[in-house]
Amino acid sequence: ALLRSLSGLIFLQVITPFRRLILCAENRKEMEDWIGSLKSVQSREHYETAQFNVEHFSGMHNWYACSHARPTFCNVCRDSLSGVTSHGLSCEVCKFKAHKRCAVRATNNCKWTTLASIGKDIIEDEDGIAMPHQWLEGNLPVSAKCAVCDKTCGSVLRLQDWRCLWCKAMVHTACMDLYPRKCPLGQCKVSIIPPTALNSIDSDGECRATCPPSCASPLLVFVNSKSGDNQGVKFLRRFKQLLNPAQVFDLVNGGPHLGLRLFQKFDNFRILVCGGDGSVGWVLSEIDKLNLHKQCQLGVLPLGTGNDLARVLGWGPSCDDDTQLPQILEKLERASTKMLDRWSIMTYEIKIPPKHSCPTTPEESEECQFQISAYEDSVAAHLTKILNSDQHSVVISSAKVLCETVKDFVAKVGKYYEKATENTEEAELALSSFPSYNAEYQPTNFKNCLSRAVAGSQSPTRRHWAQG
């Protein structure tokens, strides 16, 4: 809020999770410049490594304003929150609740991300280190039952009893000591990277990662928060609640590079892209740059419209229900793998000479057309085999023949054109027999074109990972 002192100065109070700042300005215009600068910094799309580390590994809460349909209590002052729309704040990761006035006093105890964030609660035994439960007090669902005594727990009258942020177990305060200390991570444990696997940030600003036996193929999630009319924001929050927040990234803020750089230390991992075909192409391009093809498989969760690749891989046209994510993660863990080709398409400018008299005979033109028809038949036949066959040997054999056919076709075009340059109209006739190119085209390299070669072989009831 803006405040004016007795001396005429204007003050602006800025509250952050770490400190409270007071900005001073001599007039309102200067203060508006301050506010504009703060907003531009807040909305910027470029993430530096340091900014990423602060947001992912500091333990800070990520607040958003919300309302509550049932009695809810502040985890700071323990008083009830008003049911008025957007009156209270909730952390989008751990669901820590707070009044707006209490948020600045909330401790930075959001969901753990690294070994260092667990602190003194870490469990050490003869098998090494293990992760304990991370308990959050109160605000349990109405149907909550204690995992120890199987009796109803929680209350609508006060802040009481506990819920684990990882395995979702709920216990009474009196039963907590009777519950096993080690956290099993819940139903998504195959996809979760436990905080114990991410060591502290090294001198290069990167987090050192080790893959535990319980997580042989961790899941890296990229969400385009602007996809599906900004429905991606809900999916981003839900994934952070189900998984380690350090393995969930917003493509709008920083792109896929930071996430892939963190996961490149794993021998094998899976990627889930939540967005459209453009988001998938963006991630695949970054995989190309980092040369991670042999380490990862890619799945698609379609958001918005125009999701051709998701349809091809059996995931359907669109997903708009974030409450189904636990079931979707289970399906991802059982999904099979299909190979996906990616092509580099080159186009060149070809200048066609002006027309002159041509001695080309009708017989030669018919022979040229016959050769082209033969190539077309061969290409069509082998493409049909590739699209319709599930046998790898047949697909590989047809692909080899197809490559040789195209190679021979290009070679003959070159020879025919060189021979025909002696007669400019014959050169023009040769070019007109093949797919025409606009003379205005400039050399371009389209690196991100996706082959749909798997389209004909998918069953609508099967889900697949794409491995390029």
Whole-angstrom distance, CA of residue 225 vs CA of residue 234: 8
pLDDT at 463: 54
User: Residue 158 contacts by C-beta under 8 Å, 6 or more apart in sequence?
Assistant: 73, 78, 138
Count helices and strands (H / E) in the chain: 12, 21
pTM for this model (two decimals): 0.65
Handedness of CA 4, 8, 13, 19 (dihedral sign): negative
Diameter over CA atoms, the chain? 101
| pLDDT per position as a tens digit, 206-235 | 666 776 666 778 899 999 988 877 788 899
- At position 118, the amino acid (one-letter code) is I
Pairing of strands 170-171, 162-164: antiparallel
Whole-angstrom distance, CA of residue 455 vs CA of residue 462: 13
- At position 181, the amino acid (one-letter code) is R
- Provide block-wise average pLDDT over 10 residues at a time, the chain (468 residues): 53 58 68 67 48 61 85 93 74 92 88 88 83 94 94 93 95 95 90 84 61 77 86 91 93 90 87 91 92 89 82 80 88 84 79 54 60 77 81 82 84 74 56 43 33 31 54
Q: What is the 3-state secondary structure (H, E, C) of 316-364?
A: CCCCCCHHHHHHHHHHHHHCEEEECCEEEEEECCCCCCCCCCCCCCHHH
Give all strands (DSSP E) within 59-107, no chain letters: 63-66, 88-91, 97-99
CATH class belonging to 112-189 = alpha beta
Whole-angstrom distance, CA of residue 155 vs CA of residue 151: 12
pLDDT at 221: 96
pLDDT at 223: 94
pLDDT at 1: 47
pLDDT at 468: 56
Give the tokens for residue 291: 């040369």
4 HSE (CA, 13 A, CB side)? 4
Nearest Cα to 419, choosing from 407, 406, 434, 429?
A: 429
Partner residues linked to 124 by β-bridges: 129
Cβ pair 98, 106 in contact under 8 A: yes
Domain range annotation of the chain: 2-28+55-105, 112-189, 217-338+457-468, 349-442
Domain 2-28+55-105 has CATH 3.30.365.10: no
pLDDT at 439: 34
Give the tokens for residue 427: 């050169």
Helical spans, DSSP H, in 64-178: 115-118
Domains 2-28+55-105 and 112-189 share a fold: yes
- What is the CATH topology of the domain spanning 217-338+457-468? Rossmann fold (3.40.50)
